[in-house]
Chain A
Amino acid sequence: MPDQGQSDEGGPPPSGSTVTKDKPAGSHRRADNRMAGWLPSVTVTFASIALALLVGAVLILVSDREVIESFSYFFSYPWDAFRSSASAIGESYKALVTGSVGSGGAITATLERAAPLICAGLAVTLAFRAGLFNIGAQGQLVLGAICAGYVGFHYDLPPVAHVVAALAAGLAGGALWGGLVGLLKARTGAHEVITTIMLNYVGAALLTYLLTKESFQQPGSDNPRSEKVAADATFPELLGVHSGILLALLAAVGVWWLLERSTVGFELRAVGANADAGRTAGMSVAKVYTLAMIVAGLLAGLAGAQQVLGHQDSLTANFGGSIGFDAITVALLGRATPLGTVLAGLLFGALSTGGLAMQASAASTPLALTQVLQALIVLFVAAPALVKAVFRFRESDDGGAVMAKGWNS
């Protein structure tokens, strides 16, 4: 059912006519329906990344002083301009690749960066499928981290129980913050976009407030920085990576099962596709909204827990960075599917660790470039018609963008 809706909106303008145009050229390929389902969207995704890197290359050139200088005498000695351009782009992108997947340490960093992105991304994905736009992953993540961190550094528990308790506290914290949104939506009709935005700020303020309290600060210190989480409460390491990434993958599988294989998930998708139809079919829309937001909060809470329990970290006012917001882009790039979210999370993890390396490289490309790259990749993936036009792909109906739906839910 959702597929139908997607291809309606996501395809190129006259979606009916493209199918007929496609027929003579590739009718043998249409036999394998499943292939046709995902292959084009994979090519479009890769083409989008390539296109984004191309635009990024232009920005690298603009930001490199040496290149700009060499272009000032372009007409007397053009070769210099080309050489310096090539070296700037080469240096930057080489740093991007080696910094993200080039070494064991880089891969570890990428995976650990990706894990919370995936979890928070799943929080957005799940809510999206229920027809809710969850901008509040950031707040849910912060609450999760507060709870997980507090259990992690304040209590003294036996080894295994400690990490389990801290994790459970983190999940509960996130679920509380997400469930509040769902409950408000279900009971009063308060729009989730408003409440999630506002609760993000409330969560952030709560964290800064708690960090001024004695029990949250390191003893003998007045800094807004909590104690380090106890060693017992951190995730065990596997092959040099903390096992949070494993939890992220498990969570993705769980979300997939919930969405695709369970009754609840069916109700969730049905309400997401058309709340009125769901209500008519006897589903409790209020229950679905509340449940979806609780689970979404749970997932975001997991992301928060990973941030503090991953490496025996302390809570600080901005420990979460912008993971909760990046998660929105991750989920949307992943087309609101669990698998897509995992892949998108890995890509964004790689981009952000690679971005740091790029900044440190000889070309010293600004970190903001990765942000532009991320935006462009998502933009192009969401606009398959544009990418196809640029690369002159043979037209075929692809998976389409994420549910083209408005506020009506």
Chain B
Amino acid sequence: MSTATKAPQVDPALQVRDPAETQRRIKMGGTLLLVAALIFYFWWSIDDELVYYLLTGERTRDTEPGELATHPVTLVCGVLVLAASAAAFLGLIRRGAVTLISMLIVGIAFLLCFVIWAYADLDVAFKPWITNPLPGTFAIATPLVLGALAGCLCERAGVINVAIEGQFLAGAFFASVVASLTYSAGAGLLGGIVAGVGISAMLALFSIRYLVNQVVLGVVLVVFAQGLTNFLLDQIPNEPKIKAYLNEPPKLDDIAIPGLSELPFIGEAMFNQTILVYLMYASVVIVTLIMFETRWGLRVRSVGEHPKAADTVGIKVRRIRWQAILFAGVFAGLGGAYYTVGSTGSFDKNASSGNGFIALAAVIMGRWHPLWATFAALFFGFMSSLRDQLTLVNKIPSELLTMTPYLATVIAVAGFVGRVRPPAADGEPYVKS
């Protein structure tokens, strides 16, 4: 104890430095320096004094936009990041919460400056206003979160779920068909759930009963769902009368939650949404609580970590896995329903366009934890929403902008998430011996 308190008084030259720590300092400090340099470049290159923003409410003839002074803001951000870089070099940014918070601040500062730069100096008659990226974020992230929850549930139980994309597709298709038949978007959600659970059942049957390699199985189920939905879509005749009954569903209505939807900045984005989005919030809470606070959740996690031990204490490993996978299908199916009744309406080929794989990436990025996976999905949604917004501004070629959310994810994963540890028995079928 006493040596620990005295340690700082030892001659600095005699202190042992961990080389890994030094390396980390240099890496982090260098990266931040690079970010600061970029921000200063923005500061230097912007000519416009002001950019305009509108974060709440609709744009009408009379709305006055907010004004943002470009140079002071970018300069402050630049100095902030520079300070963070210096702190990193000096080793003041410790691992853990401090790193997380400072990286968050740096990230926000950088994005802010980037957006200001993108909106400044535009050669157009009417300056576009910076709008709120949050509504787009939630629109894009809703299915991803639901898919990621499904992935977490399956993988925590020890069954790899690469088939989220397949569940999305099946969910989207059947949600559309059921909603069209019943002329009720709510019934469509039920259809989506049934389809998601259906693919889940295939996943469970083949992985638990027939011991198929789960990565193979997942890929195959995606192809199967693609083929099946395309095939069934081809079967719907192109006559308007019949089509109206099969693939022209009503869409879910937005429901404003009184009070909450009036909140500035987040109100419109979070609390004036379809029922599906509220279901997504509820799902995150439910899955997290069930997984970490209930007996069943403990069992799910135990069969995913050490099925043999679980079996020894009398837990029915296969039964728990079946339950977890089927339960996961509910969320994945709901996520799929977003792509038809939740947003565009009728089902198109490959409606979910690979987003199931992004949900899978969110599961891994979130370290198989429902809350972190949700954040990962929201991060992706935010970046995509920002991208969509900047595409309208035309400062950067939209084809290049397209790749930003994906690049950002790679950077986030390589820079901050790093090595992840899956549930120990993930992907291993359990065979009683």
Contact = CB atoms under 8 A, between A and B. Distances in A.
Interface of A: 8-16, 59, 62-63, 133, 135, 184, 187-191, 193-195, 197-199, 201-202, 205-206, 208-209, 212, 325, 328-329, 332, 366-376, 378-379, 382-383, 385-386, 401-408
Contacts of B414: 184, 187-188, 190, 195
Given A197-B361, A404-B429, A191 B234 contact: no
A197 B216 contact: no
B410 A371 contact: no
B431 A14 contact: yes
Given A372-B231, A383-B206, A194 B400 contact: no
B348 interface: no
> Chain B: interface residue count, which band?
35 or more
A332 B220 contact: yes
A69 to B, nearest CB: 13
A371 B229 CA distance: 10
Given A198-B410, A385-B210, A372 B224 contact: yes
B397 A212 contact: yes
B420 A382 contact: no
B400 A406 contact: no
A86 B420 CA distance: 54
Given A194-B409, A202-B403, A385-B211, A401 B360 contact: no
B174 interface: no
15 contacts: A59-B231, A188-B418, A190-B414, A191-B364, A194-B361, A212-B399, A332-B219, A368-B233, A368-B234, A371-B230, A378-B220, A386-B206, A386-B210, A402-B216, A404-B427
Contact of A408 (B233, B410, B426, B431): B426
A14 B419 CA distance: 35
Q: Which 10 A-B pairs have the closest CB atoms?
A: A406-B427, A189-B419, A371-B227, A368-B230, A209-B399, A375-B224, A372-B227, A205-B403, A368-B231, A383-B210
Contact of B220 (A189, A199, A382): A382
Contacts of A12: 211
A394 B406 CA distance: 50
A375 B361 contact: no
Given A9-B429, A329-B219, A332-B220, 20 more contacts: A9-B428, A13-B431, A15-B431, A201-B402, A206-B403, A208-B402, A325-B223, A369-B227, A370-B227, A371-B230, A374-B227, A378-B219, A382-B206, A383-B206, A401-B211, A404-B213, A404-B427, A406-B215, A407-B364, A407-B422
B221 to A, nearest CB: 7
Contacts of A15: 431
A264 B365 CA distance: 30
A209 B397 contact: yes
Contacts of B425: 406
A382 B212 contact: yes
Given A191-B413, A366-B230, A382-B212, A199 B406 contact: yes
Nearest to B206: A383
A375 B163 CA distance: 12
Q: Which residue among A135, A194, A402 has the maximum number of chain B CB atoms within 10 Å of its CB?
A: A194
A45 to B, nearest CB: 14
Interface in B390-433: 397, 399-400, 402-403, 406-407, 409-410, 413-415, 417-420, 422, 424-429, 431-433
Interface in B195-235: 206, 209-217, 219-221, 223-224, 226-228, 230-231, 233-235
Interface of B: 155, 160, 206, 209-217, 219-221, 223-224, 226-228, 230-231, 233-235, 354, 357-358, 360-361, 364-365, 397, 399-400, 402-403, 406-407, 409-410, 413-415, 417-420, 422, 424-429, 431-433
A16 B432 CA distance: 11
Contacts of B365: 191, 194
A14 B432 CA distance: 8
A135 B215 CA distance: 11
Given A208-B399, A401-B213, A194 B223 contact: no
Nearest to A403: B213
B427 to A, nearest CB: 2
Contacts of A205: 399-400, 402-403, 406
Contacts of B235: 62-63, 366
B364 A194 contact: yes
Contact of A189 (B228, B409, B418, B428): B418
A193 B428 CA distance: 18
Given A198-B409, A372-B224, A382-B216, A13 B418 contact: no
B379 to A, nearest CB: 12
Contacts of B428: 9, 404-406
A199 B410 contact: yes
A165 B77 CA distance: 47
Nearest to B416: A188
Contacts of A11: 211
A202 B223 CA distance: 22
Given A332-B220, A383-B210, A194 B403 contact: no
